[in-house]
């Protein structure tokens, strides 16, 4: 009984895959067939279409830049914070010359 049910499920899945492949093949065939179009695109409509295309491309570029900029900005902020902490950390060596000592950059 269970074997019959599994066999029917497998056949149903195979039939669905076959139907999906056939549908995709038909859609590609319909899209591949081109018929000559007797249409005129005037300068106003053409410029509007080009402007819309450029605006869409610019929006995509700005969106990608926005998604990439935030993590980069966050990383730079972390680096600056660690650098600031390193600068404010106490220095183990003497920062000013002791009595009788002089730094190498001092001139006599």
The reply to whether 24 falls in a domain is: yes
Q: Predicted confidence band at 60 (pLDDT cuts at 50, 70, 90)?
A: very high
The reply to whether 44 falls in a domain is: no
> Has residue 86 got a pLDDT over 80?
no
Domain boundaries, position 10 = 1-31
The reply to whether 99 falls in a domain is: no
Q: Predicted confidence band at 12 (pLDDT cuts at 50, 70, 90)?
A: confident
**Number of domains, the chain:** 2
What's the pTM?
A: 0.40
DSSP state of 91: P
Note the residue count of the chain.
108
Q: Are 24 and 16 in contact (CB under 8 A)?
A: no
The reply to whether 103 falls in a domain is: no
Q: Are 12 and 5 in contact (CB under 8 A)?
A: no
> Has residue 62 got a pLDDT over 90?
yes
Q: Predicted confidence band at 27 (pLDDT cuts at 50, 70, 90)?
A: very high
């Amino acid at each position: 009984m269970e074997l019959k049910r599994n066999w029917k499920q497998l056949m149903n899945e195979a039939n669905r895959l076959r139907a999906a492949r056939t549908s995709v093949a038909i859609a590609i065939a319909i899209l591949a067939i081109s018929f000559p179009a007797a249409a005129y695109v005037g300068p106003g409509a053409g410029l509007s279409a080009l402007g819309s295309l450029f605006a869409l491309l610019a929006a995509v570029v700005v969106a990608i830049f926005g998604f990439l900029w935030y993590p980069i900005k966050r990383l730079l902020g972390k680096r600056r914070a660690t650098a600031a902490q390193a600068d404010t950390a106490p220095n183990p060596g003497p920062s000013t010359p002791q009595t009788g000592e002089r730094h190498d950059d001092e001139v006599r």
